[in-house]
């Protein structure tokens, strides 16, 4: 049986897709391939100059809009300009940064990767017609949700554990959103994906010696951004039940073609998911309006 590739994307004519961080890396490939398949794609990114440059090289209808996921006011401004969207792809993210804080005081990784996308999805959920796809990572397996200190305000900051927390939060969010959408009688689906080990600029911002190590890994063993984008594209376009999780089919899910995969037990803990949801609503001051 032939492996699934971007050439298998169903016709997307008439559909509007938002891709956060669609100006580079896996996000840019995702935006390009969906536009090639006929979708109207909105690249939502912080640096609109880079977004415009990326969009100019893409086929079809690609628009660029400013969105800074590390600033709730920017998220609200972006969402206010969206009238309807079929697919929201929560792709943007940061990885293993030194301790930094968002405009609202959140630790940068949980603030951008989880809370920013939680807020964005909540503001758009009543205008979504099909699905939301949130990009997680195999690093969710090292994560632990620090419900008593989500934003690393106490103790020694550990950048990789903070990243793992944010990626575990992505999955807890997806599974809890799926439960709530189903309970509300909504047909909107919540799915997740992870790219495996793909060569992108995500690995070049730790501001440590690890940048050099990961740069070498990118050249020697990582798969291309085009391959890394396939799980997201599969989750965004194929007829899959909520809350399917898609990843690569290769060894240890590091590379390969997309298929349904499993996340760890912690990601399926409904108690933690509910508590994280409540905390996220409190921190972002955004309450979801879920209707059929």
Kindly report the backbone phi and psi dihedral angles of residue 147, in degrees, each rounded to the nearest multiple of 5, phi listed first: -60, -25
Instruction: Report the Cα–Cα distance between both ends of the chain, in Å, rounded.
Output: 38
Q: Is the backbone of residue 173 left (phi > 0), alpha (psi -120 to 50) or beta?
A: alpha
Calculate helix-pair angle for 270-284, 159-183, nearest 10 degrees: 100
Is 193 in contact with 136 (CB distance < 8 Å)?
Answer: yes
Per-position b or e across 89-122, b if 16+ CB within 10 A of its CB: bbbbbbbbbeeeebebebbbbbbbbbbbbbbbbb
- The catalytically annotated residue of 157, 163, 197, 245 is 163
**197 noted as active-site residue:** no
What are the residues whose beta carbons fall under 8 Å from the beta carbon of 21, sequence distance 6 or more? 27, 44, 45, 91, 92, 93
Catalytic residue list: 163
């Amino acid at each position: 049986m032939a492996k699934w590739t971007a050439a298998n994307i169903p016709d997307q004519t008439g559909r509007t897709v938002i891709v956060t961080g669609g100006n580079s890396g896996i996000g840019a490939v995702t935006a390009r391939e969906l536009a090639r398949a006929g979708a109207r794609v909105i690249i939502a990114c912080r640096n609109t100059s880079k977004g415009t440059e990326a969009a100019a090289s893409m086929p079809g209808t690609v628009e660029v809009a400013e969105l800074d996921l590390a600033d709730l006011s920017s998220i609200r401004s972006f969402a206010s300009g969206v009238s309807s969207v079929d697919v929201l792809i929560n792709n943007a993210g940061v990885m293993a940064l030194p301790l930094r804080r968002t405009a609202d005081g959140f630790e940068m990784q949980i603030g951008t990767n989880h809370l920013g996308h939680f807020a964005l999805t909540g503001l758009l959920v009543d205008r979504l017609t099909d699905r939301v796809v949130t990009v997680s990572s195999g690093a969710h397996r090292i994560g632990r949700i620090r419900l008593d200190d989500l934003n690393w305000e106490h103790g020694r900051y550990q950048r990789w554990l903070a990243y793992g927390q944010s990626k575990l939060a992505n999955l807890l969010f997806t599974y809890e959103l799926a439960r709530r959408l189903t309970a509300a009688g909504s047909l909107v689906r919540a799915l997740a994906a992870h790219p495996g080990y793909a060569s992108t600029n995500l690995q070049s911002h730790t501001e440590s010696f690890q940048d050099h190590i990961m740069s070498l890994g990118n050249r020697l063993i990582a798969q291309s951004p085009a391959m890394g984008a396939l799980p997201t594209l599969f989750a965004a376009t194929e007829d899959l039940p909520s809350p399917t999780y898609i990843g690569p089919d290769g060894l240890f899910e590091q590379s390969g073609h997309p298929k349904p995969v499993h996340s760890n037990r912690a990601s399926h803990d409904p108690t933690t998911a509910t508590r994280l949801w409540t905390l996220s609503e409190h921190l972002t001051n955004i309450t979801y309006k879920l209707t059929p």
